[in-house]
Amino acid sequence: MDLNSMILQISFIVMYSEMMAYGFIGQEERKCKYLRVDKLLKIRCYDMNLKEVPPYLKTSVEVLDLSFNRIKKLKRSSFQPYKNIKFLLLYENMIQSVEPGSFSYLTSLQEIDLSNNALMTIPLEIFQLPALRNLYVDSNDLMYLPSDLEALETPIQAPLEYLNIADCGLQDLPDLGILPKLWHINASLNPLMDLSIERFALMCNLKSVDLTRSELTPCQCQQVNNHLRVVEVKTKFVPVCLETLDGSKCPLPYNYTINSMDFIACKNSVKLAEKRSMWLFVTGCAGGILSVLLIMWLCIHRRRKKNVKKLRASALQRRSLVISPKNAINKRDHQSNYNNHNNDLLSCDTA
């Protein structure tokens, strides 16, 4: 094989690989896959070189995977047809902007993954989704998030339980107001040089925190560790403080966290939510018992009605009593002879 043919073959292989990578070849064969996962309808449009949310999918989709595509912008109409989505995967795209109202239709959304995109803030409407529990926005440069959060309405409606804001260039934890259901936050790989210990007072239900490779000062490190130990949070992913500082130089966080009004308000909201769920449970049980009793009463009532109808029908079909001719009274003489016969004893035929 001569040199020219080898160069041509290598050039062809390189061009073919690039065309495959950018979707110029085999585009027709690459279609979204329809699956069933835990009885949920999942549509997987993974790595299809999509530049926007496809509008032709089945509207009853509950799990939508659009990861590893080339989507740059989310429009207000992007998810309008898909109001039943519960899990939305958008990681590894190129999302830079989100039009207001893009997520307003997703009232059933429980989890959204926007990690590894080009976002500079988190759309505030996400925090008002009534069913959102898990939020992943890690590996985005959220430089405008602190200033945008000044316009956030708190307490947020989203019942957040899991928040991943790792590697977002944050210098402090975001102020989202009281988060009574949040049990885990991942803020690793952030330069948390301005960390406010008061932020933890808003998260009274924390079970674990990830602060690995964060640039905490020695005082912040001591305060965070002391607070997390008091509230019995796992400190596995929290930096170990190399030195113990004097209380005068680095005051303990009790006055700022567990004794603060925010922490007390957070705990009260947890108790209120527990009471509300208990009342809902009791009300549901009582409603169920009443429904069963009502159904039983209706069944008994219908059965009695049927029995009465049967008795009436059998009475109508019953054979009439045979009257003896001795007792037969001529209709013409009935009025005149009534008084003479009313005291006579009737005698029955032995039919």
Nearest to 197 by CA among 243, 256, 146: 256
Cβ(143)–Cβ(120) below 8 Å: yes
Distance CA 189, CA 165 (A): 9
Distance CA 239, CA 216 (A): 8
Distance CA 77, CA 75 (A): 5
Give the single-character DSSP code of 326: G
Distance CA 205, CA 231 (A): 9
Residues 6+ apart with CB under 8 A from 157: 127, 128, 129, 130
Structure tokens given for 266: 């957070």
Cβ(82)–Cβ(59) below 8 Å: yes
Whether pTM exceeds 0.85:
no
Nearest to 130 by CA among 156, 98, 154, 153: 156
Cβ(237)–Cβ(188) below 8 Å: yes
For the chain, 351 residues long, give each residue's pLDDT as a single digit of tens. 555 565 556 555 555 555 444 444 444 347 999 999 999 999 999 999 999 999 999 999 999 999 999 999 999 999 999 999 999 999 999 999 999 999 999 999 999 999 999 999 999 999 999 999 999 999 999 999 999 999 999 999 999 999 999 999 999 999 999 999 999 999 999 999 999 999 999 999 999 999 999 999 999 999 999 899 889 998 889 998 878 888 788 887 667 788 889 999 999 987 876 666 666 666 777 777 887 788 888 888 788 877 777 777 666 665 554 444 555 455 445 545 545 555 444 445 444
Please report, for residues 129, 171, 172, 195, the alpha-carbon distance to residue 204 in angstroms, rounded to integers and kept in the order given: 21, 21, 18, 17
What structural domains does the chain harbor? 29-271 (3.80.10.10)
DSSP state letters, 174-218:
------TT--EEE-TTS--TT--GGGGGG-TT--EEE-TT----H
115 dihedral zone (left: phi>0; alpha: psi -120 to 50; beta): beta
Cβ(205)–Cβ(184) below 8 Å: no
Residues 6+ apart with CB under 8 A from 84: 59, 60, 61, 62, 108
Distance CA 182, CA 348 (A): 92
H/E stretch holding 12: helix 3-21
DSSP state letters, 51-72:
SS--S-S-TT-SEEE--SS---
Structure tokens given for 65: 């995977």
Task: Give pLDDT tens digits for 130-180.
Answer: 999 999 999 999 999 999 999 999 999 999 999 999 999 999 999 999 999
Distance CA 119, CA 143 (A): 9
Strands 87-89 vs 111-113: parallel, antiparallel or unpaired: parallel
For the chain, what is the largest distance between any 2 Cα atoms, rounded to a whole number of angstroms? 145
Structure tokens given for 150: 């000044």
